[in-house]
Amino acid sequence: MSRPVPNPGILDIAPYTPGKTPVPEPGRKVFKLSANETPFGPSPKAIEAFKNVATHLEDYPEGTSRVLREAIGRSFGLDPNRIICGAGSDEILNLLAHTYLSQGDEAISTTHGFLVYPIATMAVGAKNVIAQETNLTCDVDAILKAVTPKTKLVWLANPNNPTGTYVPFDEVKRLRAGLPSHVLLVLDAAYCDYVSRNDYEMGIELVATTENTVVTHTFSKIHGLAALRIGWMFGPEHIIDAVNRIRGPFNVSTPAMYAAVAAIEDTAHQAMSKQFTETWRNWLTEEIGKLGLKVTPGVANFVLIHFPEKGTTSDAADAYLTKRGLVLRALKNYGLPHSLRMTIGTEEANRLVVDGLRDFLAGK
């Protein structure tokens, strides 16, 4: 019996697997530390803005996300006409793939890059090419070496998820300069708000001065609006125009739009979250290191913990912590079978993870 057949390459895609969402058990407190969600939630001003539009849910959203683009423009000093908004930055990444990749093309991502990149690439029939990292960090020379006449796009998460590492801006500029002019460089800056390094830049300067670079960002991390699915991209006018031609006309809901405007304007909430994250990222890195486990130095809102390949395995540690209500992220699908990624949570959660790891390693 005949039936519809998916396009070539679709069934070769490994579906995206999100971080575990635990089901609370009676009498046990559960801390979800698997999805890089902020422990503070959104700004109270964002919640208020969300509620204020709840009485008009019968109306379609304004189709260009104008009020949000203008708010982003004010916050970053950008031309709103060079901004596009989406249902999370994931949607924008997929729109870029549909706009600039086709059957037979190639797109480059790094060894432990965000899993949406190969999905978006392969969904349009293009080939996902992996450039090897060095010390779990993007290697610009490896990317440049992977370029072929078929290369049309390069995906770069900076900082990277799940490693937490970053590429200095000088290296990003060297990458752009070394790529052919027809290759689109996509800088995914989802975690940029947590970075406090003098040699880091999310990429706006590069976008403003080139015709072949875009930067994407999200409201899911420091702004705490993951449930509303809001992302945005800053790019050259010709790229914004092209992507807008295939973007759905009402892809960002009105409640999401106004909540995001309030969130981006609440700089005090962002500053508090950033400072807390930095303090506890440093504390967790030091304390977990004292236990004899390696932690990759990171700059985002999570830490990457490595376990020995034999003996005290990450699987056993994951199971042990989960029984204590501490849910971390296993990383087999990212090619890191001996590592766990831990979102920086509340002070209580952070301390409980260190205590849990200490007890696990002691065989208690």
pLDDT tens for 185-227 read 999 999 999 999 999 999 999 999 999 999 999 999 999 999 9
Asked if 31 and 128 sit in the same domain, the reply is no
Among 265, 289, 308, which residue terminates a domain? Answer: 265
Q: How far is CA 135 from CA 141, 324, 340, in A?
A: 14, 32, 16
Q: Give the whole-angstrom CA distance, residue 119 versus residue 318.
A: 27
Asked if 290 and 349 sit in the same domain, the reply is yes
List per-block mean pLDDT (blocks of 10 residues) for the chain, which spans 364 residues: 79 75 69 96 98 94 97 98 97 98 97 96 96 97 98 98 98 98 98 98 97 98 98 98 96 98 98 98 98 97 94 90 96 95 98 97 88
User: What's the pLDDT tens digit per position in 116-144?
Assistant: 999 999 999 999 999 999 999 999 999 99
The full 3-state SS of the chain, as one line of letters, equals CCCCCCCCCHHHCCCCCCCCCCCCCCCCCCEECCCCCCCCCCCHHHHHHHHHCHHHCCCCCCCCCHHHHHHHHHHHCCCHHHEEEECHHHHHHHHHHHHHCCCCCEEEEECCCCCHHHHHHHHCCCEEEEECCECCECCHHHHHHHCCCCEEEEEEECCCCCCCCCCCHHHHHHHHHHCCCCCEEEEECCCHHHCCCCCCCCCHHHHHHCCCEEEEEECCCCCCCHHHCCEEEECCHHHHHHHHCCCCCCCCCHHHHHHHHHHHHCHHHHHHHHHHHHHHHHHHHHHHHHCCCEEECCCCCEEEEECCCCCCCHHHHHHHHHHCCEECEEEHHHCEEEEEEEECCCHHHHHHHHHHHHHHHCCC
Among 265, 297, 329, which residue terminates a domain? Answer: 265
pLDDT, residue 8, reads 80
pLDDT, residue 1, reads 61
Asked if 319 and 260 sit in the same domain, the reply is no
Asked if 243 and 293 sit in the same domain, the reply is no
Whether residue 68 lies inside any domain: the answer is yes
Asked if 216 and 106 sit in the same domain, the reply is yes
Asked if 290 and 345 sit in the same domain, the reply is yes
Asked if 89 and 201 sit in the same domain, the reply is yes
Q: Residue 33 belongs to what domain range? A: 18-41+268-361
Whether residue 6 lies inside any domain: the answer is no
**Total domain count, the chain:** 2
Asked if 276 and 245 sit in the same domain, the reply is no
Whether residue 155 lies inside any domain: the answer is yes
pLDDT, residue 310, reads 79
Among 231, 265, 299, which residue terminates a domain? Answer: 265
Asked if 218 and 292 sit in the same domain, the reply is no
Asked if 297 and 225 sit in the same domain, the reply is no
Whether residue 182 lies inside any domain: the answer is yes
What CATH number is associated with residue 36?
3.90.1150.10
Asked if 223 and 81 sit in the same domain, the reply is yes
